[in-house]
Structure 1
Amino acid sequence: MKNDMKINRYLKKAEEAFEEDNLIKALNLYRRVYELSKGKDIDAIINLALIYDFWGKSKKVKEYYKEALIINDCEERAYYGLASIYDEGNYEKAIKLYKKAIYINPCYYKAYFFLANSYDVSGKKDLAIKTYKKLLSLNPTDFWANLNLGSIYEEKDQNELAYRRFSKALKIDPNNYLALFNMGVICRKFNMSEKAVRFYERSIEKNKNYEYSYLNLAVIYKYKDTKKGIKILSCGIDNCSEVHFLYYNRSCFYALINEENKACEDIIEALKLHPQFLKYILEDEELERVRQLNSFKKFIGNTT
């Protein structure tokens, strides 16, 4: 009885420390619970696994989750936790474990979400769709489930379905830059260029560091207002970290308005950042005149 009271007191303090992100203190308290319970307290074991997972100690994490399953082989949190470790490459294993967690707890929202994601990234798109739809039948206001399901529909060119899901996601969070970007993609597919522009501009307003918003917005202006497209790409280059493809595209825009020297400067910069572009540059019709410049030939000669 006295031991149970100590365990409960330590658990309460550990939970408070965990909520305050004081993980060292939480770890020590959960370890104390673990010792007092002789390794039998499930909550302490699960939380020890969570802390070690946060620190990237996969081996320790697996050990604790497996201990939890020895005590209770219906502990859905342990199956979910193990699945999340395998979810970084061994998708088949992760899928089996997520399904086990869902079998035990058919309302385990997080398990549905990551099961769907595992199906998606492993190329099982139809199963991903089915799983996201199941999750949304349980929780229709899950923003990321709506957004991810819409993205799969868009990949499959099922654009009406994608539009509905992106619209739903934006009703849940009207200011999310990725949802705004995806709506821009769909509007562009529907040839609603003005709407696409507004969505891309709003996406940039909400997140100035997302390079694809600049790219997609610039492409709309590529042939009808090339200089405006260049300004948009330049803004993206100034604000984003992954800019190699923005340099590449700005080079193509410069080439369109016969500014080959500027195009060459950009293509050289793109190649410095991402040498794998070379095979595309050598085949790109828009860059034919740029490839004839001595500055380009000299750069290629020095790098090959």
Structure 2
Amino acid sequence: MTEQTYQYYLNQKAVGAHYLEIGNPMKALEHFINAYQTTYGCEDLDLMLELAFLYDEVENPEQAIAIFSQMIEVDPTFPTSYYGLATIYDDHEDYERAIYYYQKTIELDPEYETAHFFLANIYDELGDNQKAIAHYEKTIEIDPSYYYAYINLGCIYEAEDKNLKAYHYFYRAHQVNPADYTALFNLGVACRKLGQVKEAIRYYRKSLGANPQYAFTYLNLALIYKEVFEDYEESIKLYTEGIKYNPQMSVLYYNRACCYALLNEFEKSLDDIQIATQISPSLLDYMKSDDELVQVKKLPRYQAMYQ
């Protein structure tokens, strides 16, 4: 290997890094490939790692898999090679292979927190809650500030109706990131299920302050005013605000229609029903058996449209 060839390898690697830094992945890829095709490049794990992730970024997973596989041949003890393969198979929902490579990553580096986290995600997706919980807990043990590990643990326990545990993890997530709406929203969910209505309202309103565009916060908060306080006017205000940010969210129109019906504003109710069922025709069957809309269904306009 001549000095000129070695210098060429270094130059191509540096130019590729420059293009990557300024946000031009295709030019970066071109120069990293040039560097990789030298004798030095095909054994440079850092270069190969950049190249593999770039191939994945530009939607060429086959080449990414080939590079990660070669990295394993160069150094079978480098955990990120296995992690990279795992993420590609994970993205393509090949969960069996993804699990295998996440596990290989963890065997080589038991403290690889993102491998634990994404392995937990797969088990969560597959409904294996025990394994999901174990790997989310390990993620937190390694990195106590891993926000979404707390969120996902809380969601598992909330789905199991273990609402005190759910609250615990959502609150810990909130402590990690007090400004994020996700933990605040989920704290509202947990408090509502625990019967702590005032606390649920407080968290939902704080969540809206953090993110006024999230449709389900309006939905859940409005339902409290409707079901607990029978304050249909406040519910309508919330649904209307939610619709402003989410004009294609059919359930907001549908639930507002129910509140209008309860206030005997049947024509307004029917207007919302029409919009809701145009957006989501699947609501038609539910609507036909909804007792709150009995009077609306007597309107000639309703009968002309739906009967």
**Alignment partner, residue 25 of structure 1:** 27
Deviates more, 1:93-102 or 1:7-16: 7-16
Q: Which amino acid aligns with 2:76?
A: D
**Alignment partner, residue 85 of structure 1:** 88
> What TM-score, normalized by structure 1, do the two folds share?
0.92
Which of 223, 230, 248 matches 1:219? 223
RMSD: 1.9
CA distance in 2, matches of 1:294, 1:86: 56
**Alignment partner, residue 294 of structure 2:** 288
Q: Which amino acid aligns with 2:165?
A: L
CA distance in 1, matches of 2:152, 2:115: 15
Q: Structure 1 residues 155, 264: closer, same or farther in 2, change over 3 A?
A: same
Q: Which amino acid aligns with 2:97?
A: K
Shift of 1:56: 2.3
Which of 222, 225, 236 matches 1:230? 236
Which of 193, 198, 202 matches 1:194? 198
8 Å contact from structure 1 (residues 58, 85) kept in 2? yes
Which of 138, 141, 146 matches 1:142? 146
Shift of 1:200: 0.8
Q: Which amino acid aligns with 1:151?
A: C
> What TM-score, normalized by structure 2, do the two folds share?
0.91
Partner-residue secondary structure (3-state), 1:67:
helix
Shift of 1:53: 1.6
The correspondence of residues 64-83 of structure 1 with structure 2, limited to 5 A, is 64-83=67-86
**Alignment partner, residue 161 of structure 1:** 165
8 Å contact from structure 2 (residues 170, 187) kept in 1? yes
CA distance in 1, matches of 2:220, 2:161: 18
Deviates more, 1:256-265 or 1:171-180: 256-265
Partner-residue secondary structure (3-state), 1:69:
helix
Percent identity of paired positions between Structure 1 and Structure 2: 37
Instruction: List gaps (5 residues or longer) in structure 1.
Output: none
Shift of 1:162: 1.3
Partner-residue secondary structure (3-state), 1:221:
helix
Q: Which amino acid aligns with 1:86?
A: Y
Shift of 1:229: 0.4
Deviations 1:271-295 (A, max 9, x none): 1111111121122222222233332
CA distance in 1, matches of 2:35, 2:140: 38
Shift of 1:115: 0.6
Shift of 1:5: 4.9
The correspondence of residues 202-217 of structure 1 with structure 2, limited to 5 A, is 202-217=206-221
Q: Structure 1 residues 293, 75: closer, same or farther in 2, change over 3 A?
A: farther
Q: Which amino acid aligns with 1:213?
A: T
Q: Structure 1 residues 83, 290: closer, same or farther in 2, change over 3 A?
A: farther
Q: Which amino acid aligns with 1:25?
A: K
**Alignment partner, residue 102 of structure 2:** 98
Shift of 1:16: 4.1
Shift of 1:106: 1.0
CA distance in 2, matches of 1:23, 1:53: 11
Which of 276, 279, 293 matches 1:273? 279
Q: Which amino acid aligns with 1:170?
A: H
Shift of 1:180: 0.6
CA distance in 2, matches of 1:240, 1:210: 8
Q: Structure 1 residues 54, 299: closer, same or farther in 2, change over 3 A?
A: farther
Aligned length: 301
Query: Is residue 57 of structure 1 aligned with residue 63 of structure 2?
Result: no
Which of 37, 42, 65 matches 1:39? 42
8 Å contact from structure 2 (residues 164, 194) kept in 1? no
CA distance in 1, matches of 2:292, 2:215: 22
